Structure 1
Amino acid sequence: MPDVDDPELLREVSVDFYLDGLSKVEIAKERGLSRFQVARMLNSARELGIVRIEISTPAHLDASSGRTLAQALGVREVVISSGTSSNPSRATLARHVARALVDRARPQMTIGVSWSRTIELAAKHIENLPPCEVVQLVGAQPVEGSGNSLEMIQQFKALPGVRTFPIWAPLVVQDAATAAGLRAQPQIARALERAEHLDIAVVAVGGWSTESSTVYSNVSPDDIAEAVAAGAVGECAGHLIDAEGRLVPTALETRIVGVGLDQLRRTPEVIVCAHGASAAPAVRAAVRGGIGSTVVLDPAAAGALTDLLRAESAGTPVD
């Protein structure tokens, strides 16, 4: 039987748990121990100094960085998730988005939720909301490796006391007539009407590029070229925006099934999330255009946005 007091075994078990990510059950099975013995050994390793745990606040998580960025942007709050600028974690960003929504939700509110890869993950971290309405803000946007907004709204529907208003349609359709017809469908029209009464909205903002916008990857080269020529720097809820946050009028705009930017601007609290450095100009644009009171960023987006705002403040030309 293994000697549970052997310092070398304590070190090995600690490496298994803290560095290799094995569970206590897995360690116990591999080493012929009980789960309770493993737990006691991990405690002993800490008491003996074999394991030393240090908790600190990295620069990108420093609350003062968020406050400084919020002041520069002119928003109520900026939350910066964990990770590094070279290895940002969408999953961690999603947890911060979920927490931001849960912290602000109150009974009887009407909450609007757009779709993005980050917001889809955030929905999975929301286990409870007060009794409220959740409105789907845009149609479904299929993306390889992710679900879609229809699956996401079903997760909210499963929460006790939550009433949902889905949009059973794609986000982008082939022509303006189809989009108009879908928006006129009773159930979709009802969801869009409820969006006129939002207390909170959660939306993602992405740069107009293949790595930052799911819409970009689902439209034609002609749509992309027209958007660039018209000055698009980003996308929010399917709508293209320019550097000042104004709607960019293109043929794509007529084919969107979802809320309008004006509805988001009228919403008292809008949580904007963004992932990746390429989203920084779009975040700045959205806030300039009146969309966003709380901004949740990963370190890459926060770093790029900080550099962008510093350059502007110094009078340095930016792209």
Structure 2
Amino acid sequence: MFAHLTAAEEALVPDVDDPELLREVSVDFYLDGRSKVEIAKERGLSRFQVARMLNTARDLGIVRIEISTPAHLDNSTGSALAQALGVREVIVSSGGSSTSPRDALARAVARTLVDRAKPQMTIGVSWSRTIELAAAHIEHLPPCDVVQLVGAQPVEGSGNSLEMIQRFKSLPGVRTWPIWAPLVVQDEATAAGLRAQPQIARALERADQLDIAVVAVGGWSSESSTVYSNVSRSDIADAAAAGAVGECSGRLFDDAGRLVPTPLDGRIVGVGLDQLRRTPEVIISAHGAAAARAVRAAVRGGIGSTLVLDPAAAGALTEILRAESAAVSVD
């Protein structure tokens, strides 16, 4: 091929089978994003030689190409949980090393809501640290109504539902129905007076017409519920005595997903569990293993058609279902 070249010139011709050159060309193409034409011009090769070298590098194992399902789509655990629970879908979030578990969960919640939202829907949004993060990841929704489902619950290091509803209001084509009140107030009379305020009353009435709701479910503990840490010891004792295992939008429920009647319930300004049960699609977000028992109870109580869980919540829920299955087998 190079018979017309002098010995000195031939010594300068690249050895297209040299493993080191194959590696360098592969780095240029696959990692640095350079075109075959650019590589050929710089290294004194033809474009066809570069193409052959890239093929050779793959054949020799210098280049190994791996195609895998993105982590947030690899949902075999979710599929098994959905089948066992009898819900529409269970999505288990996953992120890279640079993403916190809560942020990965929030991104999954945001994707799920955007995927399910359709024009002219009425969408209810509760508040939690995860849902607040999810709202920040939503850049567009179809023209729709977004209803705030609970009053504000300030938490150190986070915003609250009032700030979050303003985020939705900034999206083109979205009309919001805010609740300008705290989630938990001092007494039942104050709560009743706030719920009767025209703007708040309209928002809570609108919650009877939801197409989709996005809510958080947590275990009734300081680890899993932001409400738990913002009520009195008397409220906590009353809830424990009544059998509370979980909390959703300030409402407490037992292992069967039934509302737990305590004085706290009368002081909540927010959506009721019955309103959520009547909603065709309820997306539940749950973070951490401590939320798993509450998620199981919520599903038993008819709250939740789609679950978005972080790996810790999904793992703990899997263990709960295994224990239930083993108990049935023994019986």
Query: Normalized against structure 1, the TM-score is what?
Result: 0.81
Q: Give 1:278 shift.
A: 0.4
Letter in structure 1 aligned against 2:228: Y
Q: Give 1:39 shift.
A: 11
Larger relative contact order, structure 1 or 2 (CA cutoff 8 Å, min sep 6):
1
Letter in structure 2 aligned against 1:93: L
Take 2:187 and 2:63, find their aligned partners in 1: how far apart are those partners? 62
Q: Give 1:74 shift.
A: 1.0
**2:191 matches 1:179:** yes
Q: Give 1:65 shift.
A: 1.6
Take 2:30 and 2:325, find their aligned partners in 1: how far apart are those partners? 55
Tell me, yes or no, if the aligned pair for 1:60 and 1:80 is still in contact at 8 Å. Answer: yes
Q: Which runs of 5+ in 1 are unaligned?
A: 1-6, 15-37
Deviation string 1:112-168 (CA, Å, 9 cap, x unpaired) is 000000000000111111110000000000001100000000000001111000000
Letter in structure 2 aligned against 1:96: A
SS for the counterpart of 2:327 is coil
Tell me, yes or no, if the aligned pair for 2:71 and 2:94 is still in contact at 8 Å. Answer: no
Deviation string 1:166-188 (CA, Å, 9 cap, x unpaired) is 00000000110000000000000
Deviation string 1:71-114 (CA, Å, 9 cap, x unpaired) is 11110000000059xx9610010011011111111111100000
Tell me, yes or no, if the aligned pair for 1:102 and 1:126 is still in contact at 8 Å. Answer: yes
Take 1:215 and 1:94, find their aligned partners in 2: how far apart are those partners? 19
Which residue among 294, 318, 322 is the counterpart of 1:306? Answer: 318
Q: In the alignment, what sits opposite 1:123?
A: 135
Which residue among 236, 248, 256 is the counterpart of 1:224? Answer: 236
Which residue among 151, 172, 182 is the counterpart of 1:160? Answer: 172
Which residue among 278, 292, 308 is the counterpart of 1:296? Answer: 308
Tell me, yes or no, if the aligned pair for 1:88 and 1:300 is still in contact at 8 Å. Answer: no
Q: In the alignment, what sits opposite 1:23?
A: none
Letter in structure 1 aligned against 2:311: P
Query: Normalized against structure 2, the TM-score is what?
Result: 0.79
Q: In the alignment, what sits opposite 1:207?
A: 219
Q: Give 1:64 shift.
A: 2.3
Which residue among 89, 104, 107 is the counterpart of 1:92? Answer: 104
Tell me, yes or no, if the aligned pair for 1:70 and 1:78 is still in contact at 8 Å. Answer: yes
Map 1:108-119; keep pairs closer than 5 Å: 108-119=120-131
| Stretches (4+) displaced over 2 A | 38-44, 47-64
Q: Give 1:42 shift.
A: 3.6
**2:262 matches 1:253:** no
Deviation string 1:51-80 (CA, Å, 9 cap, x unpaired) is 977554599963222111001111000000
Letter in structure 1 aligned against 2:269: V
Which residue among 163, 166, 188 is the counterpart of 2:200? Answer: 188
**2:88 matches 1:76:** yes
Q: In the alignment, what sits opposite 2:253?
A: 241
Q: Give 1:225 shift.
A: 1.2
SS for the counterpart of 1:111 is strand
Take 2:301 and 2:181, find their aligned partners in 1: how far apart are those partners? 27
Specify the structure having the higher radius of gyration (Cα). Answer: 2
Q: How many percent identity over aligned positions?
A: 79
Distance change in 2, residues 1:256/1:52 (3 Å) = farther
SS for the counterpart of 2:237 is helix
Q: Which runs of 5+ in 2 are unaligned?
A: 1-19, 35-53
Q: Give 1:43 shift.
A: 3.7
Tell me, yes or no, if the aligned pair for 1:203 and 1:271 is still in contact at 8 Å. Answer: yes
Tell me, yes or no, if the aligned pair for 2:293 and 2:317 is still in contact at 8 Å. Answer: yes
Map 1:139-154; keep pairs closer than 5 Å: 139-154=151-166
Tell me, yes or no, if the aligned pair for 1:83 and 1:299 is still in contact at 8 Å. Answer: no
Take 1:39 and 1:171, find their aligned partners in 2: how far apart are those partners? 56
**2:116 matches 1:104:** yes
Letter in structure 1 aligned against 2:152: A
SS for the counterpart of 2:236 is helix
Tell me, yes or no, if the aligned pair for 2:106 and 2:134 is still in contact at 8 Å. Answer: yes
